[in-house]
Structure 1
């Protein structure tokens, strides 16, 4: 039997360690958590923690959920690219006053040096950036903008799917009453109407060049049966094209977005009009994307790592300990 080099014991002993016992020993003795939690810093850790030493000129702000759906606002330094020294602040909740109170623990001179902050369409996040980083240009993440439009396309699809489900249910009930065997009509690709509208979901998130042959067939069928779905999809693709054009200047983007607003107004889609009104309200922050093409990718990177960390732990029982470990890794 091989020997473990440090203890001299067999490797079999090493692999027989009780996992739960090791976890408790790590928390109480090895990690330093037990002493830290009673320090002034540890006592308020569940509500907020800030790391002024991780400040940079380019920041991202987003919300994340470490456990039980409880939201935290998280500010990250883009330069660290989601690794060590990424975390600038983590604050319980999304209330702008609470987040501002925590961020003001950082020296105002350091906060004034921030030149750019990327964020989503949230009004509370916008207010936090306006007051916490007064010298920074606010840039709304393009993917949050596109996501809202794609959700509006899905609304059109879902409405048609419910109509198809209701029609199928009525036809089944009618067949029962007449004693006939019910066979739903199938389309040229073998799908029923409600199957087509369910299985076509993912294709509507993609641009046409990324469709597989089966997805293209489904989309062609959906668009021939539902012209309004086709119109909604192409509205989303026009917006995607505006953001994807790497040669587009700020002035060109402003003109193209104005044309897109006109198309939305002519479309008659209520949900699209609501979204376009929101975009128009935040037009300056959306247009700012075309200066440096900055996104909220660094914040999303931290979010995905937090979710993976949480999943690996099979959930979070002790939020303060989770925050402690999170800050040790990324702050």
Structure 2
């Protein structure tokens, strides 16, 4: 499951613009075909997901073994209440994205503290913002030199360097060829952040609290291997559908078109 913005307006954060999409990964797991869109429900909350699950018959709920999701606590609590026997998996993409957000937040905070303003094109922190988010394996020699110069330039950037190192460690854990070793690395990261951090690492402390709270869901990925990748793929297909239609105003119409487009219903329609 994942959130989806079905209508872009001047106020994209409005609840009326968000929906919850639910995707069946079973065809992909069984090798019968791609994942399929099951349903779309207005809103993004624990109540939305809880209501949808409670509307399914008991046989359906008993067959759900794994639920992949992002870091939204509402989805996790709804699954715990209605599907206590299912295993929750926090998607790797969202864990890495969460760490990247904390890294960006730390960079922006230090930018304000050291200059008293937002970043400009010649400011070191702003100029290297994309390099900071690049995986170390993909850094060029020039980019590595830039980072080395950044760390050696000013002691005010120590907090950013430490946050950057943990961000890279998270990426390395997911990228390890052996999932058992990757799980050990991720568990070590979570426990290290849990033990306490010096003052000045506020963003990293926030990341540690989130990972500790969802540690079972984060570590479950290394045992099961399921992710929200197929869900993100369908999310992208829906974005494309909205684009070629030049937008939608009626949510019911949008849901119907989405199910035809990504719910594998078009094959049955064409068969008629």
Q: Where on the TM-score scale, by shorter chain, does this alignment land: which range?
A: 0.7 to 0.9
Matches within 5 A, 1:10-49: none
1:321 to 2:268 alignment: no
1:154 to 2:104 alignment: yes
**Cα distance in structure 2, aligned partners of 1:260 and 1:198:** 29
Which residue, 242, 245, 267 being the options, matches 2:173? 242
Would the aligned equivalents of 1:242 and 1:257 in 2 still touch at CA under 8 Å? Answer: no
1:228 to 2:159 alignment: yes
Evaluate the alpha carbon distance shift between residue 84 and residue 256 of structure 1 in structure 2; reply closer, same or farther with a 3 A threshold.
closer
Compute the displacement of 1:286 (Å).
Answer: 1.2
Compute the displacement of 1:322 (Å).
Answer: 1.9
**Cα distance in structure 2, aligned partners of 1:266 and 1:206:** 26
**Cα distance in structure 2, aligned partners of 1:274 and 1:144:** 15
Residue aligning to 1:66:
6
**Cα distance in structure 1, aligned partners of 2:45 and 2:51:** 10
Would the aligned equivalents of 1:63 and 1:73 in 2 still touch at CA under 8 Å? Answer: yes
Would the aligned equivalents of 2:4 and 2:20 in 1 still touch at CA under 8 Å? Answer: yes
Compute the displacement of 1:85 (Å).
Answer: 6.4
The alignment yields a C-alpha RMSD, in angstroms, of: 2.8
TM-score normalised per structure 2: 0.80
Compute the displacement of 1:232 (Å).
Answer: 1.4
Would the aligned equivalents of 1:112 and 1:134 in 2 still touch at CA under 8 Å? Answer: no
Unaligned runs of 5+ in 2: 264-272
Evaluate the alpha carbon distance shift between residue 219 and residue 118 of structure 1 in structure 2; reply closer, same or farther with a 3 A threshold.
same
**Cα distance in structure 1, aligned partners of 2:112 and 2:190:** 33
Evaluate the alpha carbon distance shift between residue 235 and residue 257 of structure 1 in structure 2; reply closer, same or farther with a 3 A threshold.
closer
Q: Secondary structure at the match of 1:265?
A: coil
Compute the displacement of 1:119 (Å).
Answer: 0.9
Deviations 1:170-221 (A, max 9, x none): xxxxxxxxxxxxxxxxxxxxx73x1x32231111111122123443343223
Residue aligning to 1:142:
92
1:131 to 2:81 alignment: yes
Deviations 1:24-66 (A, max 9, x none): xxxxxxxxxxxxxxxxxxxxxxxxxxxxxxxxxxxxx111111
Evaluate the alpha carbon distance shift between residue 287 and residue 98 of structure 1 in structure 2; reply closer, same or farther with a 3 A threshold.
same
Which residue, 229, 238, 242 being the options, matches 1:306? 238
Evaluate the alpha carbon distance shift between residue 255 and residue 121 of structure 1 in structure 2; reply closer, same or farther with a 3 A threshold.
closer
Q: Secondary structure at the match of 2:4?
A: strand
Compute the displacement of 1:273 (Å).
Answer: 0.9
Q: Is the deviation greater in 249-258 or in 72-81?
A: 249-258
Deviations 1:94-125 (A, max 9, x none): 23223322332321111111111111121110
Compute the displacement of 1:161 (Å).
Answer: 2.9
**Cα distance in structure 1, aligned partners of 2:143 and 2:242:** 34
Would the aligned equivalents of 2:38 and 2:259 in 1 still touch at CA under 8 Å? Answer: no
Unaligned runs of 5+ in 1: 1-60, 170-190
Evaluate the alpha carbon distance shift between residue 249 and residue 84 of structure 1 in structure 2; reply closer, same or farther with a 3 A threshold.
closer
TM-score normalised per structure 1: 0.67
Would the aligned equivalents of 1:238 and 1:260 in 2 still touch at CA under 8 Å? Answer: no
Residue aligning to 2:266:
none
**Cα distance in structure 1, aligned partners of 2:170 and 2:147:** 19
Compute the displacement of 1:296 (Å).
Answer: 0.8
